[in-house]
Chain A
């Protein structure tokens, strides 16, 4: 039989998270600080609306770009929370999670050989999605001493005459880093000068702890060259509903809608109806979850300080990224030993790019009691 597989797919490396998951799943009684999703249930009024939409028999496709009612609410919300104006008809598309938005944005814009700059450590999907779309990923190793922010110089150094797109993902998974307005202004200057397009993954935009999130699309002349990716998973604790959206110039959104139409048809209808309520009525729930994350973040920071584990202060998302270099072990070794001897799962930093080596991703999407138990185990482990 002939080889049924695509060379591109064969060459794609499997996700480092997945690899570690396979190790962890052999240990069913292990506790974990490994998840990348909220521990909160979706607020009840959102779930209730989903149930109601099913009861009403709203089980049909929606329009390809998503319910008009939802797109309108997305634009209202984006204006209310982040001060950016988009047209629900032409500049908005509802996607199956933020992930689909990233994939489609890349596919809509890349020609073979186009280079995409990806600052690492970052979420595991950018590099493979670029490869699938025929582009060439060019990674930048962000630095602990810069609190894992991207600097204009680092960006400048990575640009070639083939560079087309910059992928930004702040607040960041796995580091918890954010980019403040001044940081983004410096980046925007380089982007404009080199005529780049930005895909800005802002899925953690609601989870910042030192002031409001700023989108690069809100800076002068940036809206017309930025695709903003956002969604309901993190802010509204709706990961399993698989719902996100992309905002951007009509010309790009139109082509993304074409891909979406052929590959997906439309995002889940039940989720779309529920999401309308999320955007209309849940500011308070979002704020309460944010406060809980912030309290846990402070708790962990203090614990790391007390056990003398170096960790920069993350100001977004729900991750800590402590440095374990002083223990003389690789990330994977540390994580594997911690799992085997203390039954605690954390994700090795190199799962998010080679420059994550020497770090661990610790999620605080857990209750305080669970965090305390886990921290106790880390302390014992380090002592030994």
Chain B
């Protein structure tokens, strides 16, 4: 039997809009308890934030996303954490991961234009102390993000009344 916290996480993972009341009812628990558990998880930074999955292509707002593979020189005593912090503090960086394999870090960047992204790489990222090389890949189309299929909304094709 998994803990109530895990069950709550599973429920809100793909639907942060669930109300505390709904969560409580569906767990067979009390609103007060659910509130407390969520608050605890927020304090413990198990829940780090609530994001919205947005398909910017359908808005007037132009966005480009790029994935950048970065090789870095880890620093003595600091490992990768110091340089990671210097990278992720830029607002343009939407995600940052330390990787195993042929390069060290994956940086996701969001900008208004390709030029803006290119300039960020050329002016901010590449010249940074400890950054050895970068390789930039632009995202052409988003199919699925954070577990949500971006474009496909399924129609219920079942017969209306069945056995």
Binary contact readout A134-146 vs B (1 if CB under 8 angstroms, 0 otherwise) = 0000000000000
Q: Check if B160 sits within 8 Å of A24, measured CB to CB.
A: yes
Specify which of B11, B25, B161 is in contact with A345 (CB 8 Å cutoff).
Answer: B161
Binary contact readout B1-18 vs A (1 if CB under 8 angstroms, 0 otherwise) = 000000100110001001
Closest Cβ of chain B to A224, distance in Å, is 30
Q: Check if A17 sits within 8 Å of B160, measured CB to CB.
A: no
Chain B residues with Cβ below 8 Å from A173 are 163
Q: Does B159 contact A (CB under 8 A)?
A: yes
| Most chain A beta-carbon contacts within 10 A, residue among B10, B18, B27, B162 | B162
Q: Check if B162 sits within 8 Å of A299, measured CB to CB.
A: no
Chain A residues with Cβ below 8 Å from B160 are 21, 24-25, 30, 32, 34-35, 345
Closest Cβ of chain B to A76, distance in Å, is 25
Decide if the interface of chain A is mainly helix, strand, loop or mixed.
mixed
In this complex, the interface size class of chain B, counting residues with CB under 8 Å from chain A, is: 10 to 19
Binary contact readout B66-94 vs A (1 if CB under 8 angstroms, 0 otherwise) = 00000000000000000000000000000
Q: Check if B163 sits within 8 Å of A298, measured CB to CB.
A: no
Chain B residues with Cβ below 8 Å from A30 are 160
Specify which of B18, B154, B156, B162 is in contact with A17 (CB 8 Å cutoff).
Answer: B162
Chain A residues with Cβ below 8 Å from B154 are 41
Chain B residues with Cβ below 8 Å from A32 are 160-161
What is the CA–CA distance of A32 and B159 in the complex, to the nearest angstrom?
A: 9
* Residues 1-45 of A contacting B (Cβ, < 8 Å): 15, 17, 20-21, 24-25, 30, 32, 34-37, 39, 41
What is the CA–CA distance of A84 and B11 in the complex, to the nearest angstrom?
A: 34
Chain A residues with Cβ below 8 Å from B161 are 17, 20-21, 24, 32, 34-35, 345, 347
Closest to B18 in A: A368
Q: Does A295 contact B (CB under 8 A)?
A: yes
**7 closest pairs, A vs B, by CB?**
A295-B26, A34-B161, A21-B161, A32-B160, A302-B25, A36-B163, A36-B162
